[in-house]
Structure 1
Amino acid sequence: PHFTVFPFLSLLLIPDVYVSELGKCQRLHLLYFFCKIQLDKTISRVSQFSRPRISKLVRIQRRRRWRGLVEMEVEKEGEIDLLPIDLLAHIFTLITCFKDLAQASSVSRKWRQGVKESLARRDKLSFSGWKMDDDSTTRVVCLAFSLKELDISRSRWGCQITDQGLYQLATAKCISNLSSISLWGSTGITDRGVIQLISRATSLQHLNIGGTFITDTSLFAVADSCQELKTIVLWGCRHVTEEGLLVLVNKCRKLESINVWGLRVPLDCFVGLLTISPALQIRPKGMVNVERISMWPVF
């Protein structure tokens, strides 16, 4: 079977500070491990689509032979586990696939610790495109102590975050330091979960909560807790009313942009928002005729 190692070649680009601690042989051993991960996937695909004339026994023998070759190279000197945890953590930060991180953490206790430390160093996490639930999302986020940007948008069927997940996320140490949160399309959440999470995110500057069923109650919580808020996306939040928007803009004095596409509010509401904050950008562009509104008297 043919397998590709190019996605993992970046693992060999290790900073000079580690060169003295990591020999060429050890770097190759580390690469062999990730080749093995890719090899297992490739062998599985080849086995599924092999021609009928190849017997099952032959496929099993080939699979064992290829796995044996890789394992023999990895275990040849058995020094891969001697890498310092700090170096392992740096290498694991280059991996964006959560499945690969999970497999790496199962190698040994030292590698599991390296994966944990790599998560603690990350400042961005995106679960967009992954099938995540409340528990798995919480486990990862709770390990990311330095996290600044969190994206748990729902972009794949089967990915469902609920209020229980937001309750659990609110207990993570990094929540108070987050500057950006995206909950776009998370239809399983309500005001109860959003309030619990937002009340802890006091440093929030960017919030995307579009495509959800929140109401003015969530906006009141945002207005009370997020004084540093600069942008907010309320795309398609049809249960938000004029009252919630006015309170939000009135209390969040640093708000620069607001996306109100799909909201069921009258044009007069946008006039009131611009009266409170003339520099506010109401998106999408064209929803409000700024030139016309600027001529209206302000009392």
Structure 2
Amino acid sequence: MVVVVVDADHEAEIDRLHVDLLSNVFLLITSFTDLAQASSVCKGWREGARRSLARRERLSLGGWNMDDESTARIVGYAHNLKDLDISRSCWGCQITDEGLHKISLAKCIRNLTSISLWGMTGITDDGVIQLVSRASSLEHLNIGGTFITDESLFAIANCCPRLKAIVLWSCRHVTESGLIALVNNCNKLESINVWGMRIPAECFSGILAIRPALRIKPQGNYVGNVSA
């Protein structure tokens, strides 16, 4: 084990770095893990990390054991955020409807263009509806691997007019009614991932009749493996 001892003089030198300079440097850090470690060095670095969060446009919480409170707090700092990934594939993320409710109150919510909630089995229609009702700029949404129903899709159809792509991977409680609502209301919709859904093939023929240019993935095989 390597133990680093920082003497008082060295620590004082670190504290003299201007917080705006630190913020600019920390903005270059792409790993949230590294940013969190930097913020623990001293008070000045913590403030620099907080300010860099406020300027970030993309945030992925991979590698951290996040809960509702900590996730909402971090998103609350990220005033300019446009891309938020809190999916289950990010190890340890345990978010529920309560967390989505709190995130929906963040300053950045109306600027978000991309949200991934993939595999988050702790959320329901209640949390998703609250979130998307305020995410009016949303263009890309991944809610695959969740237990949402048509109620979430109805809310998305009504609140997200700019939606271009949605992943509904294995959302087996969604029916034809939800998909039709999306296609009819989201005029900019370009792509839907329907892998593993319990939707009859004739439904997709009807959807394509409404929106011929829509890309339905996986193409030509609505129960097969989706390609990357």
User: Normalization by structure 1: what TM-score?
Assistant: 0.70
2-structure distance, mates of 1:141, 1:257: 27
2-structure distance, mates of 1:230, 1:76: 51
Cα shift readout 1:222-255 (whole Å, capped 9, x = no counterpart): 0000000000000000000001100110100110
Which of 261, 265, 269 aligns to 2:199? It is 265
Question: Are 2:81 and 1:147 equivalent residues in the alignment?
Answer: yes
Cα shift readout 1:108-160 (whole Å, capped 9, x = no counterpart): 43322211110011100011343211111111110000100000011256421
Residue number in structure 1 paired with 2:28: 94
| Matched residue type, 2:56 | R
Change (3 A) 1:81 1:254: same
Q: How many equivalent residue pairs? A: 222
> Unaligned stretches of 5+ in structure 2?
223-228
- Deviation at residue 90 of structure 1 after TM alignment: 1.0
CA-based RMSD: 1.8
Q: Bigger relative contact order, structure 1 or 2, given CA contacts below 8 A and separation 6+?
A: 2
- Deviation at residue 170 of structure 1 after TM alignment: 0.4
Which of 142, 147, 150 aligns to 1:216? It is 150
Tell me, yes or no, if the aligned pair for 1:175 and 1:201 is still in contact at 8 Å: yes
1-structure distance, mates of 2:173, 2:39: 43
Which of 171, 180, 184 aligns to 2:118? It is 184
Residue number in structure 2 paired with 1:240: 174
Residue number in structure 2 paired with 1:207: 141
**1:2-41 equivalences in 2 (<5 Å):** none
Question: Are 2:39 and 1:105 equivalent residues in the alignment?
Answer: yes
Deviates more, 1:264-273 or 1:216-225: 264-273
- Deviation at residue 286 of structure 1 after TM alignment: 2.0
Question: Are 2:218 and 1:280 equivalent residues in the alignment?
Answer: no
| Matched residue type, 1:266 | P
> Unaligned stretches of 5+ in structure 1?
1-41, 44-62, 289-299
- Deviation at residue 268 of structure 1 after TM alignment: 1.3
Tell me, yes or no, if the aligned pair for 1:131 and 1:156 is still in contact at 8 Å: no
| Matched residue type, 1:287 | N
Question: Are 2:59 and 1:125 equivalent residues in the alignment?
Answer: yes
| Aligned partner of residue 12 in structure 2, secondary structure | coil
Cα shift readout 1:21-73 (whole Å, capped 9, x = no counterpart): xxxxxxxxxxxxxxxxxxxxx53xxxxxxxxxxxxxxxxxxx4xxx34xx24x
Which of 81, 85, 96 aligns to 2:15? It is 81
Tell me, yes or no, if the aligned pair for 1:184 and 1:210 is still in contact at 8 Å: yes
- Deviation at residue 274 of structure 1 after TM alignment: 0.4
1-structure distance, mates of 2:217, 2:61: 26
Cα shift readout 1:198-223 (whole Å, capped 9, x = no counterpart): 00000000000000000000000000
User: Normalization by structure 2: what TM-score?
Assistant: 0.91
Which of the two has higher C-alpha Rg? Answer: 1
- Deviation at residue 103 of structure 1 after TM alignment: 4.0
Tell me, yes or no, if the aligned pair for 1:210 and 1:236 is still in contact at 8 Å: yes
Change (3 A) 1:76 1:205: closer
Identity percentage of aligned residues: 64
Tell me, yes or no, if the aligned pair for 2:82 and 2:108 is still in contact at 8 Å: yes
- Deviation at residue 259 of structure 1 after TM alignment: 0.5
Query: Which structure features the higher share of helix residues?
Result: 1
2-structure distance, mates of 1:99, 1:281: 36
Which of 165, 180, 184 aligns to 2:99? It is 165
